[in-house]
């Protein structure tokens, strides 16, 4: 008897569970990528030397993916972060050196290998997302090829280096722009506009791999065996991403993305020192959700987690860039408000309390999604130096004010008068 896995049944593909507009967008991008690939395959002539370069680039890409697998497995166990993709090195080198059809074929081979060796085993990246990722890289490559097609010839003596460097730089910008635009459109259609925000660290990594791709193309043109020297810095860069993620993990609350208690204390201690030197004031808010246990008991812990994330997002969006929010554990948060006097601090606390009461959180339950409303919070306020000149005293005062708010009716902001 043959058993057919759910993923093999077209009607059960995860693609169909996406918003209709997003499904249409995925299919459009995939269709355009396939159509252009077929067009270029019929138009381009790939000579023996270019096929040799194609083989070298594919080999290097597969070797790099295999060498980084152990590092990726360790990173996933520790950080649970998405797979770090360094394929741009080989993709951009292919765009520079090969006809569009061969560059597209290389991208397809590289991503098929990643699917078979990494993503399929994890089970966290549906096939339609892999196809879409491949398609947008292919389209980015074709757009870039229009700029770089004449930048590098097969004979180094014919290079016009200033012009070549400029065209490759413009090509890198085109690659980033097309890639970013296609991903941004998908995020918007998915109904998650916060995903559209530019992740500068990710762009910096992409720029670094584009530069390595340019180096790879130059070395392959001079002498193919030199291309292996790109591998060590690429693997070091891969490891550096892991180190950065570990550093972020050490200071971040994984459930909400805010600073954890230890990291928040460090920031607050630095602000205390600065305020002491400059004779300025700052505020400490202790925020505690009312009856949060009832949310967990009624809707489940997954719904409770969504509420915590929603409150964390609210705090981040409602405070200034140089204010600082952290999670102390459970349903308790802390907010640091530098360079503010008591009236401003209380006004901020009241605004936060009011915004919590307006929250509508869509959360998963055993019977489907539900919308959670009627939330409220108590906020205790302490002001430096009025309520203390040490962080411990300020936190104790804010916590005492929080307790007063909770025992006097909840959904309140309390600041204890006096020192």
Query: What does the DSSP assignment read for 204-256?
Result: HHHHHHHHHHHHHHHHHHH-GGGGGGGHHHHHHHHHHHHHHHHHHHHHB-TTT
Say which residue, 380 or 122, is predicted with more confidence.
380
Separation between Cα atoms, residue 363 and residue 341, nearest integer Å: 37
pLDDT at 318 over 80: yes
pLDDT of residue 197: 42
pLDDT digit string (tens) for 369-389? Answer: 888 999 999 999 999 999 999
331 classed as catalytic: yes
Question: Is residue 386 reached through a cis peptide bond, with omega within 30 degrees of 0 on the bond before it?
Answer: no
pLDDT of residue 193: 43
Work out the end-to-end distance of the chain between its first and last CA atoms, rounded to an integer number of angstroms: 78
Residue ranges of the alpha helices (H) in 117-160? 120-122, 127-148
Separation between Cα atoms, residue 346 and residue 335, nearest integer Å: 12
Maximal C-alpha separation, the chain: 84
Assign 3-state DSSP to the chain and report helix, strand, coil percentages, each to 5.
70, 10, 20
pLDDT digit string (tens) for 258-316? Answer: 999 988 999 999 999 999 999 999 999 999 999 999 998 888 888 899 999 999 999 99
pLDDT of residue 146: 87
Tell me the two tokens of residue 280: 């300025």
pLDDT of residue 271: 94
Domains and CATH numbers, the chain: 12-251 (no CATH), 261-415 (3.30.70.270)
Instruction: Quote the pTM value.
Output: 0.61
Say which residue, 333 or 204, is predicted with more confidence.
333
The angle formed by the CA atoms of residues 315, 317 and 320, to the nearest 5 degrees, is: 90
pLDDT digit string (tens) for 69-108? Answer: 766 666 665 555 555 668 889 999 999 889 999 999 999 9
pLDDT of residue 156: 52
Q: What is each CA distance from 169 to 96, 176, 326, in whole angstroms?
A: 11, 11, 40
Backbone angles phi, psi at 156, to 5 degrees: -55, -30
One of 271, 306, 331, 332 is an active-site residue; which one? 331
pLDDT at 62 over 70: yes
Three-state DSSP state, 330: coil
pLDDT digit string (tens) for 228-272? Answer: 888 888 878 777 776 666 666 677 888 888 999 988 999 999 999
Do you know the residue count of the chain?
Answer: 419
pLDDT of residue 201: 60
Share of the chain above pLDDT 70, in %: 82
pLDDT digit string (tens) for 131-190? Answer: 888 999 999 999 999 887 765 555 555 555 667 777 888 888 999 899 889 988 887 776
pLDDT digit string (tens) for 188-229? Answer: 776 544 444 445 566 777 888 888 888 888 888 877 777 888
pLDDT of residue 252: 82
What is the pLDDT averaged over residues 327-331?
89
Short-list 342, 351, 345, CA closest to 318: 351
pLDDT of residue 1: 39
pLDDT of residue 148: 79
């Amino acid at each position: 008897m043959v058993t057919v896995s759910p993923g093999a049944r077209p009607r059960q593909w995860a693609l169909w569970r996406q918003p209709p507009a997003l499904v249409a967008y995925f299919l459009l991008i995939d269709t355009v990528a396939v159509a252009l690939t077929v067009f270029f395959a019929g138009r381009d002539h790939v000579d023996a030397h270019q096929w040799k370069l194609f083989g070298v680039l594919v080999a290097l890409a597969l070797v790099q993916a295999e060498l980084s697998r152990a590092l990726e497995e360790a990173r996933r166990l520790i950080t649970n972060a998405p797979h770090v993709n360094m394929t741009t090195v080989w993709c951009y080198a292919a765009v520079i050196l090969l006809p569009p059809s061969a560059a597209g074929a290389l991208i397809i081979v590289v991503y098929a290998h990643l699917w078979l060796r990494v993503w399929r085993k994890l089970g966290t990246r549906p096939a339609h997302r892999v196809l879409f990722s491949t398609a947008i890289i292919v389209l980015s490559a074709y757009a870039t090829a229009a700029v770089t097609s004449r930048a590098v010839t097969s004979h180094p003596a014919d290079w016009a280096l200033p012009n070549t460097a400029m065209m490759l730089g413009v090509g890198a910008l085109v690659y980033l722009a097309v890639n970013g635009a296609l991903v941004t459109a998908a995020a918007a259609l998915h109904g998650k506009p916060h995903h559209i925000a530019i992740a500068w660290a990710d762009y910096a990594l992409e720029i670094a791999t584009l530069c390595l791709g340019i180096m790879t193309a130059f070395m392959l043109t001079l002498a193919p065996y030199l291309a292996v020297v790109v591998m060590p810095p690429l693997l070091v860069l891969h490891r550096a991403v892991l180190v950065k993620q570990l550093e972020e993990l050490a200071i971040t609350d994984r459930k909400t993305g805010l600073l954890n208690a230890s990291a928040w204390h460090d920031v607050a201690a630095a602000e205390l020192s600065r305020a002491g030197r400059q004779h300025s004031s700052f505020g400490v808010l202790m925020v505690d959700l009312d009856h949060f246990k009832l949310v967990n008991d009624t809707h489940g812990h997954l719904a409770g987690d969504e509420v915590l994330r929603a409150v964390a997002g609210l705090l981040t969006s409602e405070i200034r860039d140089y204010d600082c929010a952290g999670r102390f554990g459970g349903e308790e948060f802390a907010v640091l408000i530098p360079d503010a006097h008591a009236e401003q601090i209380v006004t901020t606390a009241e605004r936060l309390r009011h915004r919590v009461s307006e929250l509508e959180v869509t959360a998963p339950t055993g019977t489907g999604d539900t919308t959670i409303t009627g939330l409220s919070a108590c906020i205790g306020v302490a002001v430096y130096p009025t309520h203390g000149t040490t962080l411990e005293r300020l936190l104790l005062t804010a916590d005492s004010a929080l307790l007063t708010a909770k025992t006097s009716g909840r959904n309140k902001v309390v600041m204890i008068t006096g020192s």
